[in-house]
A and B are shown apart, each in its own frame.
Chain A
Amino acid sequence: DGGITQSPKYLFRKEGQNVTLSCEQNLNHDAMYWYRQDPGQGLRLIYYSQIVNDFQKGDIAEGYSVSREKKESFPLTVTSAQKNPTAFYLCASSPDSNNQPQHFGDGTRLSIL
């Protein structure tokens, strides 16, 4: 079955450490997205990519970085510059970036040790 795989399910970060969240899709979608979810705040867009080797900042990109070297993969790195990284991170994809419904992975929950 086609879908989006996020790993790991749970991740712990030490102070000053960078961590990378994996997102892989086999839906042949062009567009991919990273969201951060905090209780009561809905989903906030971190980064998105409309095509391989191109990506744009979303609303809360500070302290995060991404790459899009392959169509199937869109990893997110939470850097030490992100002072409040504890959250639920969701990766999504859509056939293109224009008004299409998004397909979501099951998320990664990041916590600080």
Chain B
Amino acid sequence: AQSVTQLGSHVSVSEGALVLLRCNYSSSVPPYLFWYVQYPNQGLQLLLKYTTGATLVKGINGFEAEFKKSETSFHLTKPSAHMSDAAEYFCAVSGGYQKVTFGTGTKLQVIP
């Protein structure tokens, strides 16, 4: 069985401030982890993925995430928020033969 918990359904940051979106997962097999972004009335777009190897993963638009097995976490960060980062972000997990499980999403608001 697998699950994803995203802490905070809404997060607000000031423009230029650090973005931190939290994701914790549960998986009985080595996980594959993903972050997606969704803009209003659009589909999801892959930001980054962790499969194996390097635990710090860099993605598009300046985002990165670190896989921490001991903490079962895969938090998404960006050093400096931009207005265009305002969107909803989804963490997802898969592994073995299980279908991907998505978190419930975190809406990021960027305040000018």
**Is the Cβ of A43 less than 8 Å from the Cβ of B49?**
no
**Main secondary structure on chain B at its contact with chain A?**
strand
Contact segment of B63-71, B78-86, B91-99: B91-99
A45 CA to B36 CA, complexed, in Å: 16
A105 CA to B90 CA, complexed, in Å: 16
A53, CB-defined interface residue at 8 Å: no
A window 94-108: CB within 8 A of B: 97-99, 101-107
A22 CA to B96 CA, complexed, in Å: 30
A42 CA to B91 CA, complexed, in Å: 10
Q: How far is the CB of A43 from chain B (nearest CB, A)?
A: 4
Report the tally of A-B residue pairs with Cβ distances under 8 A.
48
A window 42-56: CB within 8 A of B: 42-43, 45, 48
Residues of chain B at the chain A interface (Cβ within 8 Å): 9, 32, 34, 36, 41-46, 49, 51, 90, 94-95, 97, 99-100, 102-105
Q: A90-B43, A92-B44 are in contact. List 13 more A-B contacts (CB 8 A).
A: A42-B90, A42-B102, A42-B104, A43-B44, A43-B90, A43-B102, A99-B94, A102-B44, A103-B46, A104-B44, A106-B41, A106-B42, A107-B43
Q: How far is the CB of B112 from chain A (nearest CB, A)?
A: 25
**Is the Cβ of B41 less than 8 Å from the Cβ of A109?**
yes
A40 CA to B88 CA, complexed, in Å: 11
**Is the Cβ of B99 less than 8 Å from the Cβ of A101?**
no
**Is the Cβ of B43 less than 8 Å from the Cβ of A58?**
no
Interface centre among A58, A90, A98 (most CB of B within 10 A): A98
A48 CA to B44 CA, complexed, in Å: 17
Q: With a CB–CB cut-off of 8 A, which chain B residues contact A101?
A: 34, 46, 49
